[in-house]
């Protein structure tokens, strides 16, 4: 089991000021994240040290918030939990302003490019433009790495003060295998060979001095053999301090550490100059409306679930969502207003989050989110796909209607549809869906809703599909087969997939399809879209 972080055992905030259920609920989300997103209740019991009844009440509450799903015997992180990390990333603004520059550099070099921020004595990724081949580990948004085993860490440490160095030395001594960093391979004993031998503390001190002198840094296989990176700091134009660090990551089979400097560094520097210009000329953030009245639904949930709903946990977890673009630093009153919580409740929640290292109190009596918020589910969920997001919703729909349901995308030439996910019904006579199978787009309900979304002038039948928002194919493809489909739209409102229910003409009339199936299909599409929009706010989610 990974060592508890220093923050979790910190006792600066008086125990009486913190909210116990919120501490325990955040602990459950962290353990699930470290485990890759799924744990059984008994594994959660062991990982958290909590009683089973407590684990059950916490997971029931998190399930009510759509932050986890109870899937058979397992507790599984659900995409909605990414709204916490999204609040941090939106408040930070760097992914929004610099992400496209990082992506363009990755395309130009055909290498991975990342953006990282400092997180105490670690670095944490806030953007990844991944071109990584199968040869090496690839990090996700939210992954935390020990500063001394990375190129960005040497740059961030040029700003460390004496207490930062002291914290780092203590961590190196108390966690000799880097167990607190589940994203990296463990640090190994010296005897195992030069490539992954642990370096003495003095080696990092020297790398930091070089980084200070050169203004850039390299990682020559500090994480694992083969993985190399070169990094340049992106400075905040207003303070001159490091806002984040941009890195190009490669493999020794393509670039030695020496060619990183000669070949890639000049192009990285050009990109960083453009990033700094972007920060200098960016319009001020546009604060959206604060998410008002978040806390009111908790009362209703308490009435419905009773003892199984831990209201103080649900209320406490609404606090991070008060932050966002243009809402990076909030006062206690701002947080109370945005969440609908009483001031005393908001204050205790903020102190609890501060104790957990998720919120930092600023000298002007405002509060800000820390990168540690990304520990709450972000890394595993940021690598999901639309079919994976959709599957639980497809299963729920198939169970509700007792009919098979499927998700499909259009092939690149637009001529066919390809199934990407499906859920069967338990009827004897049922339509079988094979993921990967293709059908002619124009003859299927799934294809028609996707074709109807094309910009070009549409034939009348497709124009009608577009206007009504669904397609119904009645025994055209196969005698007896009746299929109805609706689009699944991305954040830009493009139909990226279609969702259908197939039935038999003998089982449901056309009327039944419109009155019973269509509303359920639309509701399911809305759930899938809600998950997709949350998950894809700061990272692309593949549609197949």
What is d(CA 205, CA 195) in angstroms, rounded to the nearest whole number? 19
Residue 98 CB, nearest approach to ligand PHB (Å) = 14
Residue 542 CB, nearest approach to ligand PHB (Å) = 19
What is d(CA 278, CA 276) in angstroms, rounded to the nearest whole number? 5
Residue 249 CB, nearest approach to ligand PHB (Å) = 4
Q: Assess 243 for contact with ligand PHB (CB under 6 A).
A: no
What is d(CA 375, CA 80) in angstroms, rounded to the nearest whole number? 14
Q: Assess 139 for contact with ligand PHB (CB under 6 A).
A: yes
Q: Assess 219 for contact with ligand PHB (CB under 6 A).
A: yes
Residue 539 CB, nearest approach to ligand PHB (Å) = 14
Which of residues 247, 250, 312, 384 is near ligand PHB by CB under 6 A? 247
- Nearest CB to ligand PHB, comparing residues 114 and 539: 114
Which stretch in 3-11, 145-153, 193-201, 324-332 sits in contact with ligand PHB by CB under 6 A? 145-153
Q: Assess 114 for contact with ligand PHB (CB under 6 A).
A: yes
Q: Assess 271 for contact with ligand PHB (CB under 6 A).
A: no
Residue 247 CB, nearest approach to ligand PHB (Å) = 4
Which stretch in 20-28, 52-60, 147-155, 299-307 sits in contact with ligand PHB by CB under 6 A? 147-155
- Report the 3 state secondary structure along 480-539: CEEEEEEEEECCCCCEEEEEEEEEECCCCCHHHHHHHHHHHHHHHHHHHHHHHHHHCCCC
Residue 183 CB, nearest approach to ligand PHB (Å) = 9
Q: Assess 151 for contact with ligand PHB (CB under 6 A).
A: yes
Residue 231 CB, nearest approach to ligand PHB (Å) = 6
Which residues, in sequence order, are CB contacts of 467 under 8 Å at separation 6+? none
What is d(CA 244, CA 118) in angstroms, rounded to the nearest whole number? 7
E-assigned strand segments in 267-425: 359-361, 367-369, 405-410, 416-423
What is d(CA 327, CA 371) in angstroms, rounded to the nearest whole number? 15
- Nearest CB to ligand PHB, comparing residues 227 and 501: 227
Q: Assess 252 for contact with ligand PHB (CB under 6 A).
A: no
- Nearest CB to ligand PHB, comparing residues 118 and 407: 118
- Nearest CB to ligand PHB, comparing residues 85 and 392: 85
Nearest to 65 by CA among 393, 291, 298, 292: 298
What is d(CA 169, CA 430) in angstroms, rounded to the nearest whole number? 63
Residue 465 CB, nearest approach to ligand PHB (Å) = 44
DSSP-assigned letter for residue 15:
G
What is d(CA 156, CA 118) in angstroms, rounded to the nearest whole number? 6
How many residues bind to ligand PHB according to rule CB under 6 A? 12
Cα 323 from chain centroid (whole Å): 17
Which stretch in 55-63, 149-157, 315-323, 324-332 sits in contact with ligand PHB by CB under 6 A? 149-157
Torsion sign, CA atoms 25, 27, 31, 37: positive
Q: Assess 379 for contact with ligand PHB (CB under 6 A).
A: no
Residue 187 CB, nearest approach to ligand PHB (Å) = 15
x/- binding map, residues 444-483, to ligand PHB, per CB under 6 A?
----------------------------------------
Q: Assess 250 for contact with ligand PHB (CB under 6 A).
A: no
Residue 335 CB, nearest approach to ligand PHB (Å) = 33
DSSP-assigned letter for residue 238:
T
Contacts 24+ apart (CB under 8 A), 540-544: 541/384, 541/385, 541/386, 541/389, 542/385, 542/386, 543/385, 543/386, 543/409, 543/420, 543/496, 543/497, 544/385, 544/386, 544/387, 544/409, 544/418, 544/420
Q: Give, to the nearest 10 degrees, the angle between helix 52-64 and helix 20-34.
A: 80
Which of residues 78, 155, 183, 229 is near ligand PHB by CB under 6 A? 229
Residues 167/6, Cβ–Cβ less than 8 Å: yes
Which stretch in 146-154, 165-173, 496-504, 519-527 sits in contact with ligand PHB by CB under 6 A? 146-154
Alpha helical stretches, state H, 382-453: 386-401, 445-451
Which of residues 150, 250, 539, 543 is near ligand PHB by CB under 6 A? 150
Number of residues that make up the chain = 544
Three-state DSSP at 225 gives coil
Residue 206 CB, nearest approach to ligand PHB (Å) = 16
Three-state DSSP at 56 gives helix
Residue 151 CB, nearest approach to ligand PHB (Å) = 4
- Nearest CB to ligand PHB, comparing residues 150 and 503: 150
Which stretch in 144-152, 187-195, 409-417, 527-535 sits in contact with ligand PHB by CB under 6 A? 144-152
Residue 214 CB, nearest approach to ligand PHB (Å) = 15
Which of residues 27, 85, 99, 152 is near ligand PHB by CB under 6 A? 152
- By CB under 6 A, name the binding residues for ligand PHB: 112, 114, 139, 150-152, 219, 223, 229, 231, 247, 249
């Amino acid at each position: 089991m990974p060592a508890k972080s220093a923050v979790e055992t910190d006792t600066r905030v008086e125990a009486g000021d913190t909210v116990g259920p919120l501490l325990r609920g955040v602990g459950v989300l962290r353990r699930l994240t470290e485990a890759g997103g799924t744990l059984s209740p008994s594994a959660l019991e062991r990982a958290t040290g909590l009683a089973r009844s407590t684990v059950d009440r916490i997971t029931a509450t998190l399930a009510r918030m759509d932050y986890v799903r109870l899937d058979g015997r397992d507790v599984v992180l659900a995409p909605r939990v990414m709204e916490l990390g999204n609040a941090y990333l939106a408040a930070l603004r760097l992914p929004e302003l610099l992400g496209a520059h990082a992506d363009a550099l990755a395309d130009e070099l055909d290498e991975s490019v990342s953006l990282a921020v400092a997180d105490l004595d670690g670095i944490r990724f806030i953007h990844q433009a991944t071109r990584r081949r199968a040869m090496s580990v690839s990090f996700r948004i939210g992954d935390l790495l020990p500063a001394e085993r990375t190129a960005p860490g040497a740059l961030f440490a040029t700003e460390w003060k004496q207490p930062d160095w002291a914290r780092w030395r203590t961590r190196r001594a108390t966690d000799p295998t880097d167990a607190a960093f589940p994203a990296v391979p463990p640090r190994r004993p010296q005897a195992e060979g030069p490539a992954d031998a642990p370096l003495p503390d003095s080696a990092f001190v020297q790398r930091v001095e070089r980084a200070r002198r050169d203004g850039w840094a390299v990682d020559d296989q500090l994480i694992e053999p083969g993985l190399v990176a070169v990094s340049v700091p992106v400075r905040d134009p207003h303070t001159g301090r490091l806002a984040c660090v941009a890195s190009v990551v490669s493999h020794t089979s393509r670039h030695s550490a020496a060619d990183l400097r000669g070949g890639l560094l000049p192009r990285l520097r050009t990109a960083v100059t453009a990033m700094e210009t972007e920060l200098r000329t960016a319009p001020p953030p546009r604060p959206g409306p604060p998410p008002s009245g978040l806390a009111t639904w908790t009362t209703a949930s308490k009435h419905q679930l009773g003892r199984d709903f831990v209201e103080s946990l649900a209320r406490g977890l609404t606090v991070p969502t008060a932050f966002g673009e243009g809402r990076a630093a909030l006062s206690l009153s701002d947080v109370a207003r945005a969440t609908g919580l009483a001031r005393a409740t908001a204050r205790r929640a903020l102190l609890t989050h501060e104790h957990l290292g998720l919120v930092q109190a600023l000298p002007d009596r405002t509060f800000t989110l820390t990168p540690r918020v990304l520990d709450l589910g972000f890394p595993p969920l940021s690598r999901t796909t639309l079919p994976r997001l959709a599957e639980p919703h497809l299963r729920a729909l198939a169970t509700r209607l007792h009919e098979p349901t499927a998700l499909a995308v259009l092939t690149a030439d637009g001529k066919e549809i390809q199934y990407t996910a499906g859920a069967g019904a338990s009827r004897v006579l049922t339509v079988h869906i094979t993921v990967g199978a293709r059908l002619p787009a124009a003859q299927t309900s799934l294809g028609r809703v996707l074709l109807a979304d094309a910009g070009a002038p549409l034939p009348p039948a497709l124009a009608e599909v577009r206007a009504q928002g669904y397609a119904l194919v009645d025994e055209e493809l196969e005698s007896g087969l009746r299929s109805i489909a609706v689009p699944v739209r991305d954040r830009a409102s493009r139909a990226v997939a279609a969702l259908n229910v197939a039935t038999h003409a003998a089982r449901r009339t056309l009327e039944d399809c419109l009155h019973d199936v269509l509303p359920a299909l639309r509701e399911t599409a809305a759930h899938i879209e809600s998950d997709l929009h949350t998950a894809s706010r700061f990272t692309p989610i593949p549609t197949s």
